[in-house]
Amino acid sequence: MTRFAVFLATAATALSLASVARAADAELTVFDWAGWDIEGAYAQYKAKHGDGPTYAFFGDDDEAFQKVSSGFKADIAHPCAASVPRYRDAGLIEPWDTAKIEAFANIPPHLLNSTVFKDDQGLWFLPLDYAFTAIAYNTNDVPAEDVATLQVFKDPKYAGRISLPDSADDIWSLAFLATGVTSWDNVTDEQFAAAAAWLREVHPNVRAYWADPAEMTQLMASGEVQVAWSWNDGVALLQAENFAVGYNRTPKEGSSTWLCGYVNMKDAPGNEDKVYDFVNSVMSDGGTAAVVENIGYATSNAAAMAKLPAEAIQKAYLDPLPEGSILFMQSPTSAELRARMIEEFELIKTGF
């Protein structure tokens, strides 16, 4: 079996096991995105406690919320910003003790500038990682001019050769951008309808809605897919295998950015001190370097990010965008908008 064939098999296995827990330290359960069990990120924790945490994995925010709201118990969960209101409204989380978070002072203030994240009751959401959702493409087969616009996803040339995320946040940020909307904070019914119509036009071109970066990577590596709306980590996986992948964060309509982080689960089963040991490990200098190297995400520890070589930042596509670039921030959404996006996307995926 070739190295690339091994890579494809590994990606397929990762996908099939995405929701399976990996047991280690029984006193700490981390409910995390598939692929986030990065040994370098929890190395400091392991050095102190002799093992890494127990991980349970999810593929998207909606799946994660459904599981914890149905009674699944974890000590820490890792939602993105748009989902945080649901955790608060459901009474699933409690504030962090920021005095126990060693890198808290290194978090840029703009990452905390939301009353959903931080209010007079405390810090409800600890910003951890951020990156982009943009156009990944096979540079051997796809000319750069084709991916200079988000309308590439409607191009008949790529019928059956594109992949989009099975994620309401990412799919709607794409659709809004493609129809000229750069924020969903005050989206109108007309704007929503136009975005939905665009997604319906794109749907026949979709080879697959990828569930996690391993699946997207496998689809591109096999040649089935040539253009995808992708996170940084799928690109990082392809780069690691010397696949001819490009990543355009500056199509004319713009790209999307998101912020994810940790929430402290209420009535958690594990050891509270270990919760903070784990957070401090991931946000440390070594943890930050491991996150950037392995999945191409930045961490909120600005001081640790500043210590990384410029070439590592550029390779991960985390360097600043050119002035004037359009960037859609996946900000916290209202319960009503989120329910509407999920319901409409499910209809679109089934052809309605």
CA angle 257, 212, 237 (to 5 degrees): 80
Question: Is residue 311 one of the residues assigned to a domain?
Answer: no
In-domain check, residue 314: no
Contacts of 155 by beta carbon, 8 Å cutoff, 6+ apart:
146, 205
- Token pair listed for 137: 């493409």
Share of the chain above pLDDT 70, in %: 93
Pairing of strands 126-138, 245-248: antiparallel
Determine whether 171 is exposed, middle or buried from the number of CB atoms within 10 Å of its CB (0-12, 13-18, 19+): buried
Q: In this model, does residue 34 exceed pLDDT 60? A: yes
The structure tokens 């930045």 sit at 298
Task: Please tell me whether residues 251 and 265 are part of one structural domain.
Answer: no
**Mean pLDDT over each residue of the chain, to the nearest integer:** 92
For residues 235 and 196, state if they share a domain: yes
- Entry pTM: 0.88
Cα–Cα distance for residue pair 133/59, rounded to 1 Å: 16
Distance CA 28, CA 302 (A): 26
Whether residues 291 and 330 share a domain: the answer is: no
Is residue 313 situated within a structural domain? no
Q: Which residues contact 167 (CB under 8 A, 6 or more apart)?
A: 60, 61, 62
Q: Are residues 274 and 233 in the same domain?
A: no
- Is residue 161 domain-resident? yes
> What pLDDT is stored for residue 20 in this prediction?
52
Give the separation between CA 15 and CA 198, rounded to whole angstroms: 29
| Domain identity same for 326 and 198 | yes
Pick the residue with more confidence: 228 or 23?
228
21: confidence class by pLDDT, cuts 50, 70, 90: low
| Same-domain status, 293 and 249 | no
Domain harbouring 232, CATH code: 3.40.190.10
pLDDT tens, position by position, 58-110:
988 999 999 999 999 999 999 999 999 999 999 999 999 999 999 999 999 99
Query: How many angstroms separate the CA atoms of 212 and 88, rounded?
Result: 25
Whether the per-residue pLDDT at 12 is higher than 80: the answer is no
Taking 60 as the threshold, does the pLDDT of residue 15 lie above it? no
Query: Could you tell me the pLDDT band of residue 335, with boundaries at 50, 70 and 90?
Result: confident
Which domain does 343 fall in, by range?
131-256+320-349
Residue 351 vs residue 162, higher pLDDT: 162
pLDDT exceeds 60 at position 167: yes
Distance separating alpha carbons of residues 215 and 279, to the nearest angstrom = 28
Same domain, 26 and 122: yes
Residue 304 lies in a domain: no
153 located within any domain: yes
- Of the given ranges (18-27, 255-264, 271-280), which has the lowest mean pLDDT? 18-27
pLDDT at 119: 96
Same domain, 114 and 137: no
Residue-wise pLDDT for 220-263, tens only, equals 999 999 999 999 999 999 998 999 999 999 999 999 999 999 99
How does DSSP assign 244-311, residue by residue? -EEEES--TT-EEEEEEEEEEETT-SS-HHHHHHHHHHHTSHHHHHHHHHHH--EES-HHHHHTS-HH
* Same domain for 112 and 238: no
Assess whether 218 and 330 both reside in one domain. yes
Is there a single domain that holds both residue 153 and residue 175?
yes
Per-residue pLDDT for 296 more than 70? yes
Domain-embedded: residue 309: no
Q: How confident is the model at residue 183 (pLDDT cuts 50, 70, 90)?
A: very high
Domain count, the chain: 2
Residue 343 lies in a domain: yes
Beta carbons within 10 angstroms of residue 343's beta carbon: 11
Identify the three-state secondary structure at position 130: strand
Using alpha carbons, select from 187, 195, 211, 212 the residue that is nearest to residue 153.
195
The CA-atom distances, in angstroms, between 314 and each of 141, 189, 243, 329 are 23, 39, 17, 21
Per-residue model confidence (pLDDT) at position 315:
93
Same domain for 13 and 60, yes or no, is yes
What is the arithmetic mean of pLDDT over 31-59?
Answer: 96
